[in-house]
Structure 1
C-alpha cells in the first residue's frame, strides 16, 4: 500500500498521482501494470524527446492544438486503414489528412499500430503542454490531473 504521512483514500485528489508514481517506481510493478501497448506509447514519447529533440520547451513553442492535430491525423490514418468506411478513402498513407499541421515530409504512419502509437504519444505531449500552462484561456486548472 502507498506509504504517506497521512491517510489518503481513492476519493482524495492527492491519492492517484502519488499512487501511480509509487506503482511506476518499481520496474517489476511497471511491467505488471502496463500493457505492451502502453509501454510502447510511453517509449515512443520518450523517443520523440530523446531522438527527435521534441522537448517540453520545443512543444511549448507550438500553438495550442498543433500537437493534437498531428495526433488526430495519425489516428485518422489508423481508423481509415483498419476500417475503410470510417473517415476517408484509404489513401492517407500517400497523403496526410487535412488536419496534419506539419510539412508532408514528416508524415510517416507506416502501419496502423505505429500510427496509433505516434498519435497517442503526440496527444500526451499536447496534454503535457496544457498542464505546463495552467493560465491558458480555458480558465480551468490543469495541474494535478485537472480537466479542461
Structure 2
C-alpha cells in the first residue's frame, strides 16, 4: 500500500493520465481491503503502534473520500456563493496532502485546470491596497476565466502570493496534424512572415515543429501546461539535450586524451528540471530536434506572457 502511494507521489511529468488512474484505482482497492481487516492484520505497522494511516490498533478505520464520478461532480453547474471574505470552496473537491499537485490530480480524472492569480488580474489599486494593508477580503476581485468554452470556477483560495482562483473543464482532445497539414501550416506561416513564394520547407524545420506537436498531443505539454512553468524549465530541458549530445560526440577519455565527455554529461544531468526517469536521450539529431521543439515552446510561452491584456490595448 505504501509502495503504491509513493509511486503516485513520484510520478513523472510525462506519465499518462491512464497510468495515474490505474495507480489511484490500485490505491482504492488496497484501502477497501484494509478497511475490512482487523487491526491486528496487515494494517498495523511493525512496531504495533499504529497502522499506515495513523490509526491506533483496535480503532476503526476512518472514512475516505469516494472519488467515483469526481469529474461530473466538480464540473456540474452550481451557484457560485463566496463567503464574506470572497473565498470559494467546492464541496466535492477532496482534501489532498500539501505535496499533491492539484493540476496533476485533476488531470488523472480527465479534467483540465487553469490557475489565475489576483495580482495581475484584479484592479491594480485594489491589489496594492490588499497587500500593503494586509487585507483578508478579496471580494472585489472577480477572477477572469481563461479563453475557451466550458470553464467552471471551482475555488478561490489564499496563497503566499495572494489569492488564486482555480478554473477547470473537461479535458479537451488535442488534434495532431498530419504531415501534409503540418507542412502546409509551416508554409503558410513562412509566406505570411516573409511575403515570399516559398515552396520547400527544410526538413529540420518540419521535424522540430512535428516534435512540438507530438509533445502537445502525446505528452500533454499544452500551452496551459507550459504557462505554469515560469522558471525556464523548457530552456533547461533543451540545454540538457544539447549538452548531452555534445558530450556523446566526444571520445572516451584516455591517458593521452583527457576528454570532457563525462564532464558534459554531469553538467547536462544537473540542468534537467524534471524527474530523472523522464529523460529520453537518443541519437544526436533526434536530441537536437527535441531541444529545438522545447526552445520553440519556451519562446511561445514568453510571447504569451508578454501579450497585452484588454486594459493594455
**Could you list the per-position Cα deviations for residues 81-112 of structure 1 after superposition, in whole angstroms to 9, with x for gaps in the alignment?**
124588642784x9952100000111001111
**Aligned-partner Cα distance in 2 for 1:86–1:57:** 42
**Residue 12 (structure 1) aligns with:** none
Which runs of structure 1 show a deviation greater than 3 angstroms over 4 or more consecutive aligned residues?
21-24, 83-88
**Residue 123 (structure 1) aligns with:** 295
Counterparts of residues 85-100 of structure 1 (less than 5 Å): 88-89=261-262, 92=265, 97-100=269-272
C-alpha change, 1:89 and 1:127, in structure 2 (3 Å) is same
The answer to whether the 8 A contact 1:68-1:123 is kept is yes
Counterparts of residues 51-130 of structure 1 (less than 5 Å): 51-84=218-251, 88-89=261-262, 92=265, 97-130=269-302
**Residue 140 (structure 1) aligns with:** none
Q: Secondary structure at the match of 1:53?
A: coil
The answer to whether the 8 A contact 1:71-1:119 is kept is yes
1:47 equivalenced with 2:220 (yes/no) = no
**Residue 205 (structure 2) aligns with:** 38
The answer to whether the 8 A contact 1:79-1:86 is kept is no
The answer to whether the 8 A contact 2:250-2:261 is kept is no
The answer to whether the 8 A contact 1:79-1:87 is kept is no
- TM-score norm. by structure 1 comes to 0.64
Query: Which structure has the greater CA radius of gyration?
Result: 2
RMSD of aligned residue pairs (Cα, Å): 3.2
**Aligned-partner Cα distance in 1 for 2:225–2:191:** 25
**Aligned-partner Cα distance in 1 for 2:189–2:214:** 26
**Aligned-partner Cα distance in 1 for 2:268–2:228:** 23
Higher relative contact order (CA 8 A, sep 6+): 1
Counterparts of residues 3-14 of structure 1 (less than 5 Å): none
**Aligned-partner Cα distance in 1 for 2:207–2:287:** 12
Structure 1 segments unaligned to the other structure (5+ residues): 1-17, 136-148
More helix, by proportion: 1
C-alpha change, 1:86 and 1:53, in structure 2 (3 Å) is farther
Q: Secondary structure at the match of 1:64?
A: coil
The answer to whether the 8 A contact 2:240-2:268 is kept is yes
